[in-house]
Amino acid sequence: MNRNVIFILCVVVAITGLLLIGKRGAKPPESANAAGAGNSQAASAPAQGAGDPTKGSVAPTFELKSIPDGKAIPLASLRGKAVLLNFWATWCGPCKIEMPWLVDLQKKYGPQGLQIVGVAMDDTEDKEIADFAHKMGVNYIVLKGTEKVGDLYGGVDRLPLTYYIDRSGKVVDETVGLASESVIEDAIKKALQQGN
Amino acid sequence: MKPYRLLFALCVCLLNGALLCAQDSATPQGRVFVNFVSASHVAVSPGHSVPIQFTFHVQDPYHINSSQPLTEELIPTQLHFSLPGEVALGKMQYPAGKLMSFPFDPSTKLSVYSGDFIVRGVVVAPSVASAGTYTIHGELKYQACDNNACYPPKKLPFTFNVKVGSAGRATQKARPTATSPHIHN
């Protein structure tokens, strides 16, 4: 092999290595996943889109303001229940389709320990979100989302985005975009059965 | 196979693999939903006005709300400009949205833009405007969806030039240009 070939090979290997190192470097350790609702005691947010909890991992903890009462609700306070964490927005048509299903599923599985939590990713007044949720007949917890919490869940770059969390706080499933009601229900059953 | 060819094939495979891995980590935040295609650059004399049009392209398979969506929750498409004192812009005329329904809600029609759409306006140079070429910064605010999901609102910045001539000279159209880095909120 002549020198040119060795040089080219070295360059290619170096570029490959840099690309792979860059990819790995973009993912923070899962244990760093924690954020607060407001300004206090919030861990520094990871790079955008970096969180994205995977199945089997502990759902990143956070504390967000509920709508309409403004009460701070930590996700950890729901430990022991199966949680359907639904990121949505008032401007999201597919989210609006899911909402009546979620209302029915909360009624059906609430007594078995399901708690649906809708995290509104709107950049609007709380009242607008509250009015919209009221109009949709929402019977589950609605929280005002923040970019920081969105980052913990992969940046929430498309809606709806739903995580199914079992009673021990582990993510058992995830649906991205509009999922059918039966898919959502199956994932709820899985969350209720696991982590006991 | 000659050793050089083998080496070349190995290099290509390595680079492809690395690039694929890198793409995996890319988030849709880097995704382009709308492109700025062009603005008809204009030359205008002080005290006169000339029409201008801005062309945008919504990438397939996305759509964005029109400037007048049918429900109040939906985010309208809007243009905003930072104007130098030498140039003003008249009210923008947005095209009517296409009334379309989507698989996530076949019973509801939405007013949307897809493919190319053109926004028209008028450039006005006050009679006291100084001669020169002015770069104007514009920003298209929009919110995109596809058949299954919606994406957070975005801003598409772009620039275009307006040439203000000497007083008394006739106006003329100049060739279009387009520059548009895509950013988020």
Mean pLDDT of chain B: 82
Pick from A15, A178, A181, A183 the residue to mutate for testing the B interface (most B CBs within 10 Å).
A178
User: Do residues B63 and B109 both lie within one domain?
Assistant: yes
Q: Tell me how far apart the alpha carbons of residues B167 and B48 are, in angstroms, rounded to a whole number.
A: 9
pLDDT at residue A17 in the model: 52
Pick from B2, B66, B73, B101 the residue to mutate for testing the A interface (most A CBs within 10 Å).
B73
User: Do residues B75 and B53 both lie within one domain?
Assistant: yes
Mean pLDDT for the stretch of residues B63-70: 97
Please indicate whether, in this complex, the C-beta atoms of B110 and A178 are within 8 angstroms of each other.
no
Q: Tell me how far apart the alpha carbons of residues A171 and A175 are, in angstroms, rounded to a whole number.
A: 11
Please indicate whether, in this complex, the C-beta atoms of A93 and B7 are within 8 angstroms of each other.
no
pLDDT category, A7, cuts 50, 70, 90?
A: low
pLDDT at residue B166 in the model: 84
Mean pLDDT for the stretch of residues A104-116: 98
Out of A26, A90, A157, the one facing B151 most closely (by C-beta) is A157
User: Do residues B50 and B67 both lie within one domain?
Assistant: yes
pLDDT at residue A10 in the model: 53
Could you tell me which residue, B183 or A101, shows the higher pLDDT?
A: A101
pLDDT at residue A9 in the model: 58
Chain A residues in contact with B145 by the CB 8 A cut-off are 92-94
User: Do residues B2 and B83 both lie within one domain?
Assistant: no
User: Do residues B20 and B87 both lie within one domain?
Assistant: no
Please indicate whether, in this complex, the C-beta atoms of A158 and B151 are within 8 angstroms of each other.
yes
Chain B residues in contact with A27 by the CB 8 A cut-off are 25
Phi and psi at A161, nearest 5°, equal -135, 125
pLDDT at residue A100 in the model: 97
Lowest model confidence (mean pLDDT) among A103-107, A145-149, B41-45, B141-145: B41-45
pLDDT category, A143, cuts 50, 70, 90?
A: very high
In order of A5, B16, B158, the CA distances from A98 in angstroms are 58, 39, 36
pLDDT at residue A33 in the model: 37
Mean pLDDT for the stretch of residues A159-186: 97
| Residue A48 in this model has a pLDDT that exceeds 90 | no
Please indicate whether, in this complex, the C-beta atoms of A1 and B75 are within 8 angstroms of each other.
no
| Residue A39 in this model has a pLDDT that exceeds 50 | no
pLDDT category, A62, cuts 50, 70, 90?
A: very high
pLDDT category, A111, cuts 50, 70, 90?
A: very high
User: Do residues B20 and B50 both lie within one domain?
Assistant: no
User: Do residues B20 and B73 both lie within one domain?
Assistant: no
Q: Tell me how far apart the alpha carbons of residues B161 and B78 are, in angstroms, rounded to a whole number.
A: 20
User: Do residues B59 and B116 both lie within one domain?
Assistant: yes
CATH superfamily membership of A3-193: Glutaredoxin (3.40.30.10)
Pick from B8, B70, B104 the residue to mutate for testing the A interface (most A CBs within 10 Å).
B104
Q: How many domains would you assign to chain B?
A: 2
Please name the residue ranges forming H helices in A26-167: 93-109, 126-135, 147-152
- Residue B124 lies in domain: 31-184
Tell which residue, B128, B124, B100, has the closest CA to residue B114: B100
Please indicate whether, in this complex, the C-beta atoms of B14 and A13 are within 8 angstroms of each other.
yes
pLDDT category, B7, cuts 50, 70, 90?
A: low
| Residue A37 in this model has a pLDDT that exceeds 50 | no
Cα angle value A90/A157/B154 (rounded, 5°): 75
Chain A residues in contact with B185 by the CB 8 A cut-off are 123
Mean pLDDT for the stretch of residues A120-134: 96
Q: How many beta-carbon contacts under 8 Å exist across A and B?
A: 94
Percent of chain B residues topping a pLDDT of 90: 65
- Bridge partners of B140, per DSSP, are B79, B156
pLDDT, tens only, A162-173 = 999 999 999 999
| Residue B83 in this model has a pLDDT that exceeds 60 | yes
Out of A91, A97, A123, the one facing B74 most closely (by C-beta) is A91
Q: What is the CATH number of the domain that holds B158?
A: 2.60.40.1250
The ipTM (two decimal places) reads: 0.76
Please indicate whether, in this complex, the C-beta atoms of B149 and A176 are within 8 angstroms of each other.
yes
Nearest CA in chain B to A47: B27
pLDDT category, B104, cuts 50, 70, 90?
A: confident
CB A117 within 8 A of CB A84: yes
pLDDT at residue A42 in the model: 29
Please indicate whether, in this complex, the C-beta atoms of B15 and A92 are within 8 angstroms of each other.
no
Could you tell me which residue, A23 or B162, shows the higher pLDDT?
A: B162
Chain B residues in contact with A91 by the CB 8 A cut-off are 73-75, 143, 150, 153
Could you tell me which residue, A175 or B5, shows the higher pLDDT?
A: A175
> What letter represents residue B21's amino acid?
C
| Residue B25 in this model has a pLDDT that exceeds 60 | no
